[in-house]
Structure formats: C-alpha cells, structure tokens
Structure 1
C-alpha cells in the first residue's frame, strides 16, 4: 500500500488551528496512509530567526509528496521595504518549486447562501486558474523605488508561462462537466488585451493553445468587464484563466459570491510539487481562540488528495477526496454546525468534529 509524506507548515495566526484540524480530517478519511511532518515557517519564525522559510523546511517541501499550509503573516512584521513577511513564505515556495498554476474552485455548496440573490447550489460552479509565477507579481522584490520619488514594477509574460497555464486550464475543462448554464466545456481568458501589449500577447498565446482543444469553447473577457459578469451570470463560467494579479483579484471576488474566503480552497501546482492552503489570511485577531473556520483548509486538503490520487493513479485517494468534500457539504447543509463566518456559532473544533463524524 502506497504511503504519502506530507510536509505541514502551520504558520501564523489561525494557521496552526486550521492546519491541524485538516490533519485530523484527513487522518479520518485516509487512516495511516498519509504521514504528516511539521516544519517551521512564517512571520513569527522570521521574527525569531530571521528566516521566513528555513532551509530545512524548504528541503522537506521538496522531498514530500505534497505540502499542507495553514496561513502566514502577522501585523507589524515587515521587510525594510514595507512589504509583508508572511506572504513571502508561500511566494518563495511558489517560485522555487515552480508552482505555476494556482487553482481556486468557486462553488456554491448546499447550506450556504450566496449574497447574489436567487442563485442556488449547483448554479455557481467554476474554477479560476491563476498563472502563479509571472505577471506583475514576478516583480516582487525587484521593483525600483528611486529616491522615494518614483516606484516601478514590471509585468512579465512569457510564451512558456502562458502556454503551460493555458494547457492546464483546457485540460481541466476536459475533466469537468461544463458550465452550469449550458453544460458547455469552456475556458475564459481574462486580460486587458485592448490596452496593454503584454495582455494582447497573453490572449494570442491562449488562442494558439486553445486551437488544440476543439472540444472546449474559447471565451474572452476583459478584466473589468468580467467582474460584472461574475456577479450577473456566474453560471456561464466553467474555467477562467488569468495573469497573476488579475487571477488574485478575481479569486477573492468569486469566493465572495459563494460564502467568502472562509470556504475558499486553493491549490498551487507545478510539474512535481503541490502546495495546498485555504485562501484566507492568518486572522491574528481571532488566533488561539478556537473561533476560526477550518473549512477552507479542509477543502484544500481534499484538493490535495485528488491531486495525489491523479498523480499516483490511486483510486482510494480519489474516493477519499470526494468523501471529504461530501462530508463538508453535508455538515453545512444540515445547518446544525455552522462556522461564524457563515452566520453560525460553531468553533474550529466543533466543525472538525462534525466533519469527522460525517466521515465515520
């Protein structure tokens, strides 16, 4: 029987609570097949040691089958240039492990009321694929601040980067059942090709790649317009692919339409490595009080199981991934154990216990 080594990085704020809650749920779903090893990293560790990502933690991440992360970042802990230290933990892993595809499912679950009036579970179900290693964020740490008078950052788009994230998006669409509105497999390219040459290039390469997927419809949307469409016709979307910064912004908007960041899972994937964490932040104001919702991280754990199952042709892990997702939805749909961010009073341990019982 195949076993899988998972490096966990609890991080800061609510990170330890939601990460360990997810470990408990995954143990319930998979038994001893997953072997978790905890390693240091994050803003608090930087304050103590001067390293946000210690060398031994990076080595453990490289050697593991997957990485599970809680959250990182604390107020007031910044680099000399004013940027946040905590974000740099997964940014360093993202670039060093070449995690080029950031996958953010946007799904309205039973038991969760969308702030979009009238939309029901099953009607909002799409995935945002964010190019994760280029775009504007590739300039992090390399921009120019000239005498405190002028600051610049450079948006970077390469053919290789766009080709591989576009292929990832089209391949993902082939695995899905299409958009809720019409069951059409569709990939929407989000850009500003009407204004900037970098985005016109992004769109052109997207179309070149898409020509090899005649069974998947190609769609285009400007970044400003799609923010309206995601609110007025979310059922039209199946897979959306975007440059780094646009994908970051759209992911949070999409999460807001299905209940918020507390229910938003995230997977950062490369050819050889995968990092999984909830899309929310470290929420230091409620850290250590058992108030955080572990749902986003638990759903990210399910994404991890599915990714591992596909990579290793492990049907049991694929089944476990579906079981975890169904357990989360069943708990939310029952309406008896509801986290605070969704209007309930359930604690982190309450949610964890309820999901484990549903799996049992």
Structure 2
C-alpha cells in the first residue's frame, strides 16, 4: 500500500455494527494495522430518534473529506418520517445525492461452495455486474411526488442526457476491464429498459447507443425490463455488464442476488467521480441484531470493492491485491465449508465467519 487511507465508517442500525466491526477486523488483517484508519461516525434511524438527524453535518463533512465510505446498514421498523417513508434509507440516499454517487454497482457472482437455485450454473457460470443509474429515473421524484386530496398520486420519471451518458460510459469502461461474459468471453453491455413503451426509456437507449460509438470493442445488447427477469434465470452466463435506469436496476439486482445465494452475501458500491460508498446489499435485519447470527460476507465483499476502487483511483497495486486476497479467502472458507453462515444453510456465527476469513488471510 502506497498510503494510509481514511475510511469514513458508519455502523448504522440493526446488524450494521456487527458486520461493520467484522469487516474492519478482516481489513486490518489484509492491509495491516494502520493501513486503513476507520473514523467512526454517527448516522442512521436510531441516531435520528436520539438527535433528529439521520445524517449529521459533521458525518457528511467527514464522508466528503475522507478517501471512502464504509457503511453497515440502516433502518429500523416503525422509525419513519411523517409521510411514511423510512428514515434509515434516507442516510445513504442523502449521501448518494449530495456526493453525486451516480453508479450503483452490484456484482452478481456465484461464489465457490455456494448452492445456486439455478442448478445448471452451479460450477461458476454466473458472473456479471449490474450498473444501476443512481440519481435519476423514477426515484428522482423522492420527496417531490404529488398526492392530491387523497385521491390521486403521481411521481415523475426523470432521464437526462448527462445522467445517462455518464452511467453508460461507466458501464462500457467496466466491460473493457472485465474478462467478458461466461458463455462466450465477449465484452458486452446490455441496456435494460422499456424502450418499446415509454419515450423516457427510448431516450435512455438512444443515449446509450451514442456512448457506444466510443466503445466499438464492446458489444451492445438490449433487453426489456420484463424479459430480462426471465433471461437472468435461463441464461445468466450470457451477461457481462447490464446498465439500467434506477428503479429497474434496483429490481433486477435483487433478482440477480437471489440466483447466487441471496442478499446476505451480495456486495454493493455507490460510486461517483470523486467519492464512493460501500455496503452490503441487505438490510439491517433487526430481528437478529445483537445475537451474533448475521453473516458479514456481504459487507466484507463490499470492502473488497472498496479496496479495488481505491487501488484504481490512486494507482495502488498493494491495496488492490489486499482486496483480491480477501475475496480468495472468503471463497476458500465457503468452498471448503470451513465456516458457512446461516443464510447459506450453515451454523457459523458472525464471529466464526470473521475468524475463519482472517485465519485464511494469515495463512
């Protein structure tokens, strides 16, 4: 590692503190004590109850200033705003919009030793990435929709050229870096939309076509949002990188996660030009919080994404290699059944999973 990195760390709610502490332990093992400095910060639904702020300004300032953001989970049942929307989700939504984290990156990869419900692809046949546009689409109406006399409600779908160009460019650049689709090795970006029905999605597709002109080495493909739900089950090995509008990307990324073992082992990153946030794709699971039952795997793999992002941004091969070592250690632990979390049919506690990964790193 060429430098010491400052990590803005928000444990959040429910199982958030447990999986965050577990991930910090793994990162210290892989990067060496002192390689990363974790600045512990307030935020989340429980903090909102205590202070009236889901994202305090000093937390936001630290997130903006530091090298990356590591987040556990946020949200608690019943803690909602007056309009009924969840307080916990607002934490990373505020960070997303204020730091312009426009690319939501969801790797869909079948890990060694994990049983997929798609029996035909159990030997490593699933490995693609969904890039969800993160600041526009239907979710751009958050807090701005219309509810008229309790009789009529509407939200607007927003697609801009700038927003689509940059997320499409992100997707094509990622496809260039990967090894291609599992089925044929081709670098490919699939545009997921409903261009046959709505002008907004036809525009999204047209802008992606415009961006593709600068990436002639990457194949472009198209899929309607309803059809792709079938394709992700029948031929997931065809896909390399998928780019989608905000809501469609949200839906298909959870579907993809289900095909490779579930949300408990699914990482995510929210990435902009200058800042990035990393967290497991799962929720705060308050029903098992504080019982040492949570799987830390999703957060650990999100930290792998964080290390690779830092490595790319700073030209630091050492921190990239640390991420590769963590992913390999997780794969070995699962493949050899050294420890298997409960959501994958095992009995390993959060502590046992963490210790097993750390032991592999130290070997």
The TM-score normalised by the length of structure 2 is: 0.99
User: Please, which of 219, 222, 227 is the counterpart of residue 220 of structure 1?
Assistant: 222
Q: Could you tell me how far apart the structure 2 residues matched to 1:264 and 1:242 are?
A: 18
Name the residue aligned to 1:324: 326
Runs of 4+ in 1 over 2 A off after TM superposition: none
Q: Could you tell me how far apart the structure 1 residues matched to 2:214 and 2:305 are?
A: 27
Name the residue aligned to 1:264: 266
Name the residue aligned to 2:344: 342
**Residue pairs, 1:283-302, within 5 angstroms:** 283-302=285-304
| 1:163 and 1:205 in contact (8 A); partners too | yes
| 2:295 and 2:350 in contact (8 A); partners too | yes
Name the residue aligned to 1:239: 241
| 2:16 and 2:74 in contact (8 A); partners too | yes
1:145 Cα offset (Å): 1.0
| 2:180 and 2:240 in contact (8 A); partners too | yes
Q: Could you tell me how far apart the structure 2 residues matched to 1:348 and 1:146 are?
A: 47
Question: Is 1:79 matched up with 2:85?
Answer: no
Q: Could you tell me how far apart the structure 1 residues matched to 2:16 and 2:328 are?
A: 24
1:46 Cα offset (Å): 0.5
User: Please, which of 91, 104, 124 is the counterpart of residue 126 of structure 2?
Assistant: 124
Name the residue aligned to 1:359: 361
User: Please, which of 39, 42, 61 is the counterpart of residue 41 of structure 2?
Assistant: 39
| 1:109 and 1:121 in contact (8 A); partners too | no
Name the residue aligned to 2:195: 193
Q: Could you tell me how far apart the structure 1 residues matched to 2:93 and 2:171 are?
A: 21
1:122 Cα offset (Å): 2.4
**Residue pairs, 1:89-108, within 5 angstroms:** 89-108=91-110
Instruction: Give per-residue Cα distances to partners, 1:106-148, cap 9 Å, x unaligned.
Output: 0001100100122123210000000000001111011111121
Instruction: Give per-residue Cα distances to partners, 1:8-36, cap 9 Å, x unaligned.
Output: 00000000000111011000000111000
| 2:99 and 2:275 in contact (8 A); partners too | yes
Name the residue aligned to 1:26: 27
Q: Could you tell me how far apart the structure 1 residues matched to 2:120 and 2:197 are?
A: 35
| 2:133 and 2:167 in contact (8 A); partners too | yes
Name the residue aligned to 1:67: 69
Q: Could you tell me how far apart the structure 2 residues matched to 1:77 and 1:148 are?
A: 23
Q: Could you tell me how far apart the structure 2 residues matched to 1:151 and 1:49 are?
A: 32
The TM-score normalised by the length of structure 1 is: 0.99
Question: Is 1:56 matched up with 2:89?
Answer: no
1:212 Cα offset (Å): 1.0
Q: Could you tell me how far apart the structure 1 residues matched to 2:223 and 2:336 are?
A: 37
**Residue pairs, 1:155-234, within 5 angstroms:** 155-234=157-236
- Partner of 2:206, secondary structure, is helix
**Residue pairs, 1:244-255, within 5 angstroms:** 244-255=246-257
Name the residue aligned to 2:152: 150
Instruction: Give per-residue Cα distances to partners, 1:24-80, cap 9 Å, x unaligned.
Output: 100000011100010010000011111000010000100110000000000000001
After superposing the two structures, state which structure 1 stretch, 328-337 or 232-241, moved more: 328-337
- Partner of 1:179, secondary structure, is coil
User: Gaps spanning 5+ residues in structure 1: where?
Assistant: none
